[in-house]
């Protein structure tokens, strides 16, 4: 484990914020989040080194859903990806688009039509391999010409980055003068975090190394030469499921039980029937109310995500 400074302001001054185990299980380490005393960023400290961190990105992290996760879940994923495309098209309807941290490339596949030239950057070997299998134009570095892109997207990838300042400076360089940056990250000041703390689905330690609030995200964007055009806190893709899975995490013996089955292609340990029964009961009770709660939270800027459109400052 390495001791690190604040990723935004480089300060070493911090105070304890929260401690939690990895949701993956099978690991006995407790991870600590601290809050920067100077800029307020919540970040993982100490942090696993590159070799230790690689254990938390196994092959199945990027794999397609298991047979149990096909059918309806795949249709839901396709719908969420369609919503991402709609978000992009609010500001730009054609051009060159770069998805930074594109995972297995689902979003890039959805953007492939005659209006868009698609590019991706993915640093994990397994994610990159899946993208190349799909014949996507994806690489592991930001070696693109200056001002090359009309749109750059960061769909829940910046919270995984150890150096978001460097990433945003790279983005600023490759984004055209009237280009748009879309950033979506979990909101550490959300009602979901306030209610569930270490049970919060989007805490995801130690993979999420930086935990942004609306203020720290704005500060980071300003520091790297961007200004925010619009902020929202509702995501149908992330908020209701994040809330329901967080409630389940309080009651099921297995952490992220449903997520592991549906998305991660993992065989959860423990008592399958007990975990499934509790999960189904919570789903039955909260599936509809979760959408309403999340919508109300977002009205008060307490939604589970922060989604911003930004452009370069002069
Ligand atoms: Zn700081």
Q: What is the pLDDT of residue 229?
A: 96
Q: Ligand 1 centre from 275 Cα, in Å?
A: 40
The β-bridge relationship of strands 116-121 and 95-100 is: parallel
Domains annotated for the chain, with CATH where assigned, are: 14-312 (3.40.50.150)
**Contact between residue 122 and residue 140 where contact means Cβ atoms under 8 Å apart:** yes
Extract the tokens encoding 45: 């400290």
Q: What is the pLDDT of residue 261?
A: 79
| The total number of residues written for the chain in this structure | 314
For 119-138, give one letter per residue: b (16+ CB within 10 A) or e. Answer: bbbbebebbbebbeeeebeb
Q: What is the pLDDT of residue 77?
A: 77
- Which segments in the chain show pLDDT lower than 50? 66-69
Rounded distance between C-alpha atoms, residue 158 and residue 211, angstroms: 9
Residues by chain with Cβ below 5 Å of ion ligand 1: 6, 8-9, 11, 36, 38-39, 41
Q: Ligand 1 centre from 260 Cα, in Å?
A: 33
Residue 103: strand, helix, or coil? coil
Q: Ligand 1 centre from 8 Cα, in Å?
A: 5
One DSSP character per residue, 264-299 reads S-----S-HHHHHHHHHHHHHHHHHHHHHHHHHHHH
Rounded distance between C-alpha atoms, residue 251 and residue 243, angstroms: 13
Rounded distance between C-alpha atoms, residue 94 and residue 115, angstroms: 5
Q: Ligand 1 centre from 140 Cα, in Å?
A: 28
**Which residue's entry shows tokens 């089955």?**
261
> What pLDDT digit, counting tens, does each position of 54-89 carry?
888 877 777 655 444 456 667 777 888 888 888 898
Q: Ligand 1 centre from 14 Cα, in Å?
A: 8
Structural Rg of the chain based on CA atoms: 19
Q: Ligand 1 centre from 173 Cα, in Å?
A: 24
Rounded distance between C-alpha atoms, residue 57 and residue 124, angstroms: 8
Total-model pTM: 0.89
Q: Ligand 1 centre from 220 Cα, in Å?
A: 10
Extract the tokens encoding 62: 């990027």
**Contact between residue 199 and residue 246 where contact means Cβ atoms under 8 Å apart:** yes
Q: Ligand 1 centre from 280 Cα, in Å?
A: 41
Q: What is the pLDDT of residue 259?
A: 84
Extract the tokens encoding 239: 């908020």
């Amino acid at each position: 484990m390495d001791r690190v400074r604040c990723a935004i302001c480089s300060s070493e001054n911090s105070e304890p914020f929260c401690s939690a185990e990895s949701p993956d299980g099978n690991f006995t380490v407790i991870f600590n989040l601290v809050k920067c005393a100077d800029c307020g960023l919540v970040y993982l400290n100490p942090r696993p080194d590159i070799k230790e961190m690689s254990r938390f990105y196994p092959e199945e992290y990027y794999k397609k859903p298991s047979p149990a996760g096909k059918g309806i879940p795949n249709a839901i994923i396709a719908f969420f990806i369609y919503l991402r495309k709609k978000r992009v098209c609010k500001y730009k309807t054609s051009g060159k688009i770069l998805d930074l941290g594109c995972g297995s490339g689902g979003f890039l596949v959805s953007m492939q039509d005659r209006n868009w030239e698609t590019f991706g950057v993915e640093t994990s070997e397994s994610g990159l391999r899946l993208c190349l299998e799909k014949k996507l134009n994806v690489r592991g570095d930001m070696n693109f010409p200056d001002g090359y892109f009309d749109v750059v997207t960061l769909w829940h990838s910046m919270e995984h980055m150890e150096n978001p300042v460097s990433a945003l400076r790279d983005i600023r360089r490759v984004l055209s003068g009237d280009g748009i940056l879309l950033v979506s990250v979990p909101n550490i000041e959300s009602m979901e975090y306030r209610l569930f703390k270490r049970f919060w689905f989007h805490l995801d330690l130690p993979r999420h190394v930086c935990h942004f609030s609306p203020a720290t995200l704005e500060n980071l964007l300003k520091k790297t030469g961007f200004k925010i055009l619009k902020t929202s806190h509702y995501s149908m893709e992330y908020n209701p499921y994040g809330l329901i899975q967080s409630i389940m995490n309080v009651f099921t013996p297995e952490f992220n039980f449903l997520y592991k089955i549906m998305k991660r292609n993992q065989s959860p340990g423990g008592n399958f029937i007990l975990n499934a029964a509790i999960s189904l009961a919570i789903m039955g009770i909260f599936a509809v109310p979760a959408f309403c709660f999340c919508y109300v939270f977002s009205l008060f800027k307490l939604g589970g995500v922060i989604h911003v459109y930004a452009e370069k400052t002069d």
